[in-house]
Amino acid sequence: MSADDSVLVRCPSCGETAAPRARFCENCGTALGAGASDPSLPSEVTLDVAPTVLDLDPATGEAGGRRRCAACGGVIADDGYCADCGTPGQSERDHFEERPATWVAGVCDRGIRHSRNEDAMALAASQDFAALVVCDGVSSAPDSDVASLAASRAAREVLVAYGPEGSSSVAGATSRRIAGWTDAMVAASRAAGQAVRGAAEQLAATKGTDVADDPPSCTFVAAVVDRDLIVAGWLGDSRVYWLPDAGPAEQLSVDDSWAQEMIAAGVPRAQAETSPQAHAITRWLGPDAADTDARCAATVPSGPGWLLVCSDGLWNYCSGAHEMGELVRKFAGCGEPHAAASALVRWANAQGGRDNITAALARIDPTVTEQR
């Protein structure tokens, strides 16, 4: 018997102990493999699996085409298992992707540790406009996966309405458009907050409980690309980065979190972001939120680069703007946002996948915007 034969395997999703060399968890069906035996999975672990590829219709959120197996890339059959290797398929909520344009794409993934995906995203894009929304459900509150999905879709619809083909289109000189998109961001975050409250009320009615009893909640972050302009809005600790090909990278959002308050007080970033209460957020969307008005920031890129909107499941492993810029450039050599976003999610999972992971990217080049 080898040393590995004596090691019990612990499921990374539900924590159930399985027999040595077990391939699947008997409790929840999760595939088991190297590195799954210990819940304290080291950060250097690598994964050699392809994520489930699932495109959701931006308008309906429904899946188009057949789901793919996370283990081998085969087709998930009607019984929910891979037709090639027998691995249980991920749910449509566990991993989904959106590609509304060739220059905009995002990937939302459950990660390794969590039993469900409480992240959500909603993207929209046309020739020279894009809206990227990411919401991260608060894990300590039940049904936050429902809240984040409702919030992201509600916010996207508002931002699209302010886009070039919308009923409240933002136009004019740069300063006027910044003001217009700031108003749009606040309207979007308010709509997202209302969507979370509506979802919470519906859930409470179904359960026969009070909406104030431990309601679902989530973060909110969004970015709009309007030709040569980027405007970001946020509540919580999901982030927007502007990562130019040349010049300093920039985190446009400022976390609403206990860690950020410590940083503002002079505590080094590395120390603040690894403190016990680092991820305690000070603003959020939910029935118990004090307000739902997004804080906003804008930038006018002078050259090409990447706009990244992400949850803390990604930036936990690469927080600084400079480091994030290097990471994105490492995976974005082909200039294709879907491939780059997929690679970022795989990389975060390889670091341990301790949280849900969302990465949404837009490739921006002000010199060719009109040529898309």
pLDDT one-digit tens code per residue, 155-184: 999 999 999 999 999 999 999 999 999 999
Predicted TM-score (pTM) above 0.85: no
Contact 139, 114 (CB under 8 A): yes
204-262 confidence digits (pLDDT tens): 999 998 888 889 999 999 999 999 999 999 999 999 999 999 999 999 999 999 999 99
Percent residues over pLDDT 90 in the chain: 65
Q: Which of 227, 220, 211, 203 is nearest to 294 (CA)?
A: 220
| E strand segments, the chain | 9-10, 17-18, 95-101, 104-109, 119-125, 129-136, 220-226, 229-235, 239-244, 250-251, 295-299, 305-310, 357-364
**For the chain, which ranges sit under pLDDT 70?**
1-66, 68-73, 369-372
The DSSP line for 175-227 is: HHHHHHHHHHHHHHHHHHHHHHHHHHHHHHHHHT--TTSS---B-EEEEEEET
Q: How many residues does the chain have?
A: 372
